[in-house]
Each structure stands twice: as structure tokens, then as C-alpha cells.
Structure 1
Amino acid sequence: MGHQASIGSAPAHVAHPANDRHEVPRLERTVTLLMLGRLRHRGSDTICRIRNVSAGGMRIDTGSPLEKGDRVAIEARSGVCIDGQVAWTNQLAAGIAFTRNVDHQEMLSPPVGPSGKRLAARSPRFHATARARLQTAGEASTLRLVDISLGGCRVESDQGFPLGADGSLTIPGLPPLACTSRWATGNRAGLIFHVRPDFGSFARWLEAPDLRFAAA
């Protein structure tokens, strides 16, 4: 594996055993601060922050600690999942060694649409079925989540959705989220959050099936 994988550097103050120090060669890295990705592990998916990436691996931040040796898959902007293994951890930071070298520049690029043009990059969306409550102008309604990201969510309801309506969305396990309805079709609507939820809290919520899939 040593000649195939490279990972994001561990913090300088973290000591590694001497026999591990040269296990993974350092290849040229592309530093990518705060890029959001999808982390698949332990039969579920959650959000992660990609700190840097090379052809052989990357450094990520997570909401809950990973364990050295964990098998994972990372999906960045391109939508392609890359398999890897946790090579080191430091609290909520982890170095991931890919199982094969990748074109890391392509991995970080937005996906290509049907027209051949790059699509706009957006936060990864996560399937969810939790119930939510939307309060708008003195009226409350019960919603069902369809999917959610750090920037907003898609919901469905038996009632209509007024476009551009501001409100407060309450999802069990997350703080109230001020939002605006951006689009509505039939019984579904897209809500945009005015302020993103805290990254760590959101990541841990995604890892809690009793909250995320409460209404399933």
C-alpha cells in the first residue's frame, strides 16, 4: 500500500511510532480548506470537511472520532466515491489513505451536467425522513424531511407552501433554523437556511438514525 497511498499530514505535535513514520510517502497536496464532502462508513453516511487531498489520500475533519483502520469512502464535489482506510486520527481529524491513486483535481471538480458543463458546487445532501415543524406568520405546519444539507432541506407536506415565506424550522435534535421557502411543487418545497447549523452538531445528527429516520 505504501507506494499507492498518500494522506493529509498529521499535526506537527502528533507523534507517530518510528515504524509508521515512512509507511505512506508524501505526494504533492492540493490544499482545500473547508470543502464539504460525504463520508460513508459503518453502514451509514455523514458530512465531513476535506482539509487537503492528494492522489493517494486526504485529511478530513469529522463530527465524531474515527478509528485507525476503519474502512471508509469519501465523496467530494465530483460525486465519485473513493474507498480508503483511516491511517491516523487526532481527535476529530483523520488521515485517509486511498486504496488506489486518483485524479485528485478531477475529484474536487463539480460534476458535469447533461450539457457537458460543470454544475454549480453545493453542499452534499443527505436522505432523511424525520418529522419537522415549520412556524410561519403565526401558522404552524408539520412537515416530513426528504433530504437535508448544511444549507437547506427539501420537505413535503399535505399543505401548500407559499413561496418566499420566512419561518422557523424545528427538527428534533437540531436547534431551530430560520429559513425561507425557495421553491414549491405540489406537496414538496425547498427551504433555505438563513444560518447554517453547526458542522459538528449536524454531522452527529446525521449519524443518529433514531433522529434522522424517526418517521420512517
Structure 2
Amino acid sequence: MNLTKAQSAEAGLALDRAPRTVTTLLVGKLLCSGTIEHLCRVRNVSVTGMMLETHYTLGYGNWVTVELRSGDRLQGSVVWSSEGRAGVEFTQPIDVDYILAQAKAGLDRFCGPAPRAPRFDVTCAARITCFGRPIDVTLENISQSGARITLSKPPREDTEIILSVPGLPSRRCTTRWSSEDKAGLIFLEPISYNDLAPWLEHCNLDS
């Protein structure tokens, strides 16, 4: 079928306006009813919606917000869900190219062994090993790339230690900063999503 020049231009504009689905993998913080936050991954994103991976069970009609590491927030309601996944329809169309560009800029800006990632408040007993000496600490928050701990005498900045948290693999890390009774840690290797997400859900059930 031959198209006139005007028809071809119209078809091109229609294609430009059509929702475009992009397969990607963006880690974010899932917020829904209540104040508890959950770790999630955005698998597919389009102008009108996204598919999430999460260990938190979502139901049809649930209102959700996903905060990405760039600070952008994607909001909408759940239109389908299955074990570990959910489809979300946005309240209004988004600029997919902008969201992906912001996510890439965030990774480039915080590149290195421990890129910035969504951080979650927790309160649990943990232990660090510093110069071969075990020290009991309290874990205050955690992300895939780092954590904050409380203890009476924090190690100095740039000290290499091992953090042991019940239910998670031990991590080699360095102190990024320390104060009178707290220290911020950077993991030398990030915690995998598949390790951290179910651990956080277990903490939420216990809280």
C-alpha cells in the first residue's frame, strides 16, 4: 500500500506518540499503604506503566510509588499481580527517555565500587570485625551499597572492616565517615538484590 507524503508524516507522528516499552533494570524504593518501605526492581517501563519485581505482595488496585536512585518518583495503581511481579499503570504519561537518562546520570555520578542505592531504616543487632577484633554494633540502615551502624567507639574513616548481619552474607567494607557513636560504611561489593530484598521483608514482618 502506497502512502502519500502527508499520510506518511501522520503515521510517523503516531509512532512518535505511541507508548514505548523499554526492558531495563532499575532498583528503587517501593512505597505503598502505611510507612513501611520495600526494595523493588523496575523490569519494563513505558509511557503509561511499568512492571515491578518485588518480594512484597501487591494486590489489584493498590496505589504505589517507586522512588528511583535519581530521586524521580513513578506513581500509579496495580492493574495485575502475580508471585513476585506486578503491573502498574501510571497516573499520567511519563517521559521514558528522561527517566532512563536520569538513572544513567545517577550511576555515572556515583560510579565506583559502591554506587548510591535506596537506603532502608532498620534496627537490628550486628557485628563488625576490625583488626581481627569482633565488636557488637547496632545496624541503623542499609542499602545494597552501604550501611550505618551505632557503636561506642567507631573506627576511623577509611578503616577496612567486616560487617556481619544475621541473615545476610558478611560484607567487607570501609568506613566512609565516623562520628562520636556512629559510622557510615561502604561495601566493597554490593549486596545482591536477591539477598537484600527478602531480608528486608523479613525485618518488616518482625517490626
Instruction: Normalising by structure 1, report the TM-score.
Output: 0.71
- Residue 198 of structure 2: which of 179, 201, 204 is its match? 204
Aligned to 1:40: 31
Say whether 1:79 aligns with 2:71: yes
Aligned to 1:55: 47
Distance 1:48 1:190 in 2: 23
Distance 1:212 1:195 in 2: 27
- Residue 165 of structure 2: which of 162, 167, 171 is its match? 171
Aligned to 1:139: 133
Say whether 1:187 aligns with 2:181: yes
> 2:122 touches 2:203 (CA, 8 Å); kept in 1?
no
> 1:76 touches 1:107 (CA, 8 Å); kept in 2?
no
- 1:74/1:86 CA distance change after superposition, 3 Å: same
The superposition leaves residues 133-178 of structure 1 with CA deviations (integer Å, 9 ceiling, x where unpaired) of 1112221222222321101112222113133333321223323222
Structural RMSD (CA): 2.9
The superposition leaves residues 156-205 of structure 1 with CA deviations (integer Å, 9 ceiling, x where unpaired) of 22113133333321223323222222322332222122333331331122
Give the fraction of aligned pairs with identical amino acids, expressed as a percent: 34
Distance 2:116 2:157 in 1: 22
Deviation at 1:64?
Answer: 3.9
What is the count of residue pairs matched by the alignment? 183
Distance 1:170 1:154 in 2: 13
> 1:205 touches 1:211 (CA, 8 Å); kept in 2?
no
Question: Please, which runs of 5 or more residues in structure 2 have no aligned partner?
Answer: 1-17
Q: SS of 2:70's equivalent?
A: coil
Q: Which has the larger helix fraction?
A: 2
| Rg comparison, structure with higher value | 2
Of structures 1 and 2, the one scoring higher in RCO (CA 8 A, sep 6+) is 1
Q: SS of 2:157's equivalent?
A: coil
Tell which deviates more after alignment, 130-139 or 182-191.
182-191
> 1:28 touches 1:54 (CA, 8 Å); kept in 2?
yes
Distance 2:21 2:134 in 1: 49
Deviation at 1:37?
Answer: 0.7
> 1:39 touches 1:74 (CA, 8 Å); kept in 2?
yes
The superposition leaves residues 55-83 of structure 1 with CA deviations (integer Å, 9 ceiling, x where unpaired) of 21111211244333332111123324332
Question: Please, which runs of 5 or more residues in structure 1 have no aligned partner?
Answer: 1-25, 113-117
> 2:152 touches 2:180 (CA, 8 Å); kept in 1?
no
Moved over 6 A (4+): none
